[in-house]
């Protein structure tokens, strides 16, 4: 019996030197076009414009076409590292920072850092392989070997590979206390309500995130975490993406220290 590990990436309970904030890409509002009238019976009803929203309902604009978000040169930074790698936890750390300009002109529009919105996306999976799964895999492989008339016992890698292949992956997790389902190869936007700005300067953003298992691990419990994150600065005044960055974390192992790699 083992304690279910806790997976997540909320740094709100974790002291981080420089937690930071980011936001991600999407489409501006899309207005349905109508065909010209041809005959009364074929007349199409005009549909209202469809606004682009984050999962928790943040309107992504455009809000003021006279203004634009101007990013301070070289300020958008994503720093990744290992946050925890203990007997009971294995977490990476991602720190996101950027700065907008509140004065100046770009493309004949006034710069305003109020236009900047940070968006955050995720894809991937989590897999927890209990010792019982490896025991079952070993028994299956031994039975198969015996059936073939061979006496060579399965290797540890063969056992692990079979256990990985037969253990379901998990795609459900919590984003800002809301259930959210990841997809393995398609990015899903996270809730923006949990993305806190930890810089008192209204034009600067700092946000920290700790993906991985935050507790409940034990010796012999094998975990696999592979998650890709997309970080985006969105211009809500223009309804367009300013810039994005992307990182992938891979965590694997059955005892401390587990492998925690960023790419």
Q: Residue count of the chain, please give it.
A: 263
Q: For 11, list phi and psi in degrees, rounded to 5.
A: -90, 10
CA atoms of 184 and 144, how far apart (whole Å):
31
Provide the percentage of residues in the chain whose pLDDT is more than 70: 79
Tokens found for residue 86: 């203990």
Choice between 168 and 28, residue whose per-residue pLDDT is larger: 168
Q: What is the mean pLDDT of residues 171-189?
A: 88
CB 243 within 8 A of CB 126: no
By CB atoms closer than 10 A (0-12, 13-18, 19+), residue 18 is: middle
pLDDT above 70 for 29 = no
The pLDDT value given to residue 4: 41
Which range has the worst mean pLDDT, 19-23, 78-82, 148-152, 209-213?
Answer: 19-23
Closest CA to 127 of 229, 239, 7, 236: 7
- 45 has pLDDT over 90: no
H-helix or E-strand spanning residue 91: strand 90-101
What string of H, E and C letters represents the secondary structure of 202-248? CCEEEEEECCEEEECCCCCCEEEEEEEEEEEEEECCCCEEEEEEEEE
Confidence at residue 14, expressed as pLDDT on a 0 to 100 scale: 30
SS3 73: coil
- Stated as kind and residue range, the H or E segment containing 133 is helix 131-147
**51 — pLDDT class (breaks 50, 70, 90):** low
Closest CA to 88 of 210, 3, 173, 171: 3
107-126 pLDDT per residue, tens: 999 999 999 989 999 999 99
The ranges assigned to domains in the chain are 6-29+49-125+182-262
Q: Are strands 116-129 and 222-235 parallel, antiparallel or unpaired?
A: antiparallel
Task: Look at 8-22, 86-100, 136-150, 165-179 and tell me which has the smallest mean pLDDT.
Answer: 8-22
In the predicted model, is pLDDT for residue 7 greater than 90?
no
HSE-CB at 42 with a 13 A cutoff on CA atoms is 5
Q: In the 8-state DSSP scheme, what is residue 123?
A: E
Give the span between the Cα atoms of 240 and 256, in whole angstroms. 44
């Amino acid at each position: 019996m083992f304690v279910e590990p806790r997976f997540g990436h909320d740094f709100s309970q974790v002291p981080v030197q420089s937690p930071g904030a980011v936001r991600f890409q999407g489409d501006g509002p899309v207005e349905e076009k109508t065909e010209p009238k041809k005959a009364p019976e074929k007349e199409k009803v005009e549909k209202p414009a469809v606004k682009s929203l984050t999962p928790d309902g943040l309107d992504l604009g455009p809000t003021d076409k006279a203004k634009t978000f101007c990013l301070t040169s070289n300020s958008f930074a994503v720093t990744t590292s290992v946050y925890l790698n203990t007997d009971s936890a294995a977490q990476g750390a991602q720190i996101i920072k950027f700065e907008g300009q509140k004065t100046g002109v770009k493309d004949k529009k006034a710069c305003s850092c109020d236009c900047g919105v940070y968006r955050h996306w995720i894809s991937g999976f989590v897999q927890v392989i209990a010792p019982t799964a490896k025991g079952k895999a070993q028994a299956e492989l031994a039975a198969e070997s015996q059936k073939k008339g061979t006496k060579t016992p399965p290797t540890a890698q063969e056992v692990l590979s079979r256990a990985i292949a037969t253990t379901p992956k998990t795609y459900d997790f919590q984003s800002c206390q809301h259930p959210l389902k990841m997809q393995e190869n398609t990015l899903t936007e996270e809730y923006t309500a949990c993305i806190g700005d930890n810089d008192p300067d209204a034009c600067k953003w700092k946000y920290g995130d700790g993906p991985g298992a935050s507790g409940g691990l034990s010796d012999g419990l094998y975990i696999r975490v592979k998650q890709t994150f997309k970080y985006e600065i969105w211009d809500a005044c223009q309804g367009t993406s300013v810039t994005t960055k992307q990182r992938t974390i891979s965590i694997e192992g059955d005892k401390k220290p587990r492998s925690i790699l960023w790419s």
